[in-house]
A and B are shown apart, each in its own frame.
Chain A
Amino acid sequence: MNYLNQIRTLVWKDLTSELRTKEMLSSMLIFAFLTTVVFSFAFDPDSETVKKVFPGIIWVAFIFAGILGLNRSFLSEKSNDCIMGLMLCTTDRGIIYLGKMISNLIFMYIMEAVTLPILFVLFDYRLKGSLLYLILIVALGTWGFIAIGTFLSALAVNTRNSEILLPIILFPLIVPLLIAAVQATGVILGGGVWADWSNWLRILTAFAVIFTVVPWLLFDYLLEV
């Protein structure tokens, strides 16, 4: 129960801070919007090929905008050595990771909730499958991405070129997640049945769970580095 309160406190701190500055969310939203607009100008929305790569366009916009947010995620903890203040608190240090991950996840979901309808409008795409399933896949894929991304952003923040380093170490690790997310999104957008995408869902779930539990256990060691 104490841990839940501490996670809530960490999330409250990040949300309050972000509401004041809007640094992270605004940069993510603007970047995702610009990516979407550039894609819509670069590709003819009527072409059949674009319909096929549409799931990929969705995830590229999400991941790139997400990287921007992750890069900023631990900067507030670096300023004034706040991370030291957190390390002194009477909490399991893995809780700091969980709190930060949930905050990042909330920012990502807000960005996606705004960007996804814009993508559908600009590409004139009509959803043939279930919207609920699409939301499930987006939510799971984002969870896995943010889980590993939060951990690596904490690792990268102390390096001189953290903004370059984070994508370099993060992208190779999320390849399986990205493949599963794009494939599952494609099947659902095309109106495919459960059996066609359930395996991708399993991969996404396994990825999200593993990359939440492992960083949670390792976060204490990471803070020592």
Chain B
Amino acid sequence: MLTAQNITKTIGTKTILHNIDLHIKEGEFITVFGPNGAGKSTLLKILSLLMKPSTGTLTINGSSANQESSKTRSQIGVISHQSFLYDNLTAYENLEFYGRMYQVDNLRDRIYDVLKEVGLEYSLNDPVRNFSRGMLQRLAIARATLHQPAILFLDEPYTGLDQQAIDILNSVLRNLNIKDRTVFMITHNFEQGLDLSDRVLIIKKGRLAYEGAAPGLTPGQMKEIYLNTVGGLTP
């Protein structure tokens, strides 16, 4: 599904990522932990083609990301703590805009489907600037899944969410898991991170410091592994 080989990222004189090798199988759910500034978000940006690595190669579904980035991007969805939504447009207009940019077929039906999935079907004509943080994140989930990406990247998606939005996000992630979609998530929350995960990674100072299976791990055990690996405070 996704293979990253020898990924290094240097900005100025600082090396953010050191020779990261990663192989993600189709349908796998990977959760990444690590302290602030460890390079987690940089790795996510590189894997989701938002940033180019300084060295190394990236292949998604057999396509080289460097050569066919436009085609490869159609298989990627990103949910960040920022919504990527336009405040002055309505929920429907935002999805219509992204749907047209992704050239989604049967766009109108698809918009209604994703809005229903995130429980915003009654707010489709409301301007996004009037949305609460939870509603914004739910609409961001709809935006990221609108074009039915094969792999979904989540960068601390639970930040600032109310319980309803957390439940909806979990339900969307569960559905994606059932549909064998690949998910790569960065989080600081051990409980939510382990819930659906197949594999966990810990990144420390730009290096892959731990890699292991998630099923069977309790949040307490994960915390212990984390502290032993990172050697400090919890994330």
A residues lining the B interface (CB < 8 Å): 2, 5-6, 9-10, 12-13, 16-17, 20-21, 76, 79-82, 84-92, 224
17 contacts across the A-B interface (CB closer than 8 A): A5-B103, A9-B100, A13-B93, A16-B89, A81-B80, A81-B84, A85-B85, A85-B98, A85-B143, A86-B101, A88-B49, A89-B98, A90-B74, A90-B102, A90-B147, A91-B101, A224-B51
Report the minimum CB–CB distance from B2 to chain A (whole Å).
Answer: 16
Report the minimum CB–CB distance from B124 to chain A (whole Å).
Answer: 15
Q: Which residues of B have CB within 8 Å of A79?
A: 87
Q: Is the CB of B78 within 8 A of A88?
A: yes
Q: Is the CB of A84 within 8 A of B100?
A: no
Q: Is the CB of A76 within 8 A of B86?
A: yes
Report the minimum CB–CB distance from B149 to chain A (whole Å).
Answer: 9
* Contacts across chains A and B counted by CB atoms under 8 Å: 76
Q: Is the CB of B50 within 8 A of A88?
A: yes
Q: Which residues of B have CB within 8 Å of A20?
A: 88, 127
Interface residue? B82 (CB, 8 A): yes
| Binary CB contact string for chain B from 81 to 119 against chain A (1 if under 8 A, 0 otherwise) | 011111111000100011011110000000000000000
Q: Which residues of A have CB within 8 Å of B82?
A: 80-81, 84
Interface residue? B48 (CB, 8 A): yes
A4 to B84, CA, bound (A): 23
Q: Which residues of B have CB within 8 Å of A86?
A: 101
**DSSP majority for the A interface?**
helix
Q: Is the CB of A2 within 8 A of B50?
A: no
A5 to B101, CA, bound (A): 8
A12 to B96, CA, bound (A): 11
Q: Is the CB of A76 within 8 A of B88?
A: yes
Q: Which residues of A have CB within 8 Å of B127?
A: 20
| CB contact list, B31-48 vs A, under 8 A | 48
Given A5-B100, A76-B88, A85-B98, 11 more pairs with CB closer than 8 A: A6-B101, A10-B101, A80-B82, A80-B83, A81-B82, A84-B82, A88-B49, A88-B78, A89-B102, A90-B71, A224-B52
The 7 closest A-B CB pairs, nearest first, are: A85-B84, A81-B82, A89-B101, A9-B100, A17-B88, A90-B74, A20-B88
**Interface hub of A6, A13, A21 (most chain B Cβ within 10 A):** A13
A91 to B103, CA, bound (A): 10
Beta-carbon nearest neighbor of A18 in chain B: B88
Q: Is the CB of A6 within 8 A of B73?
A: no
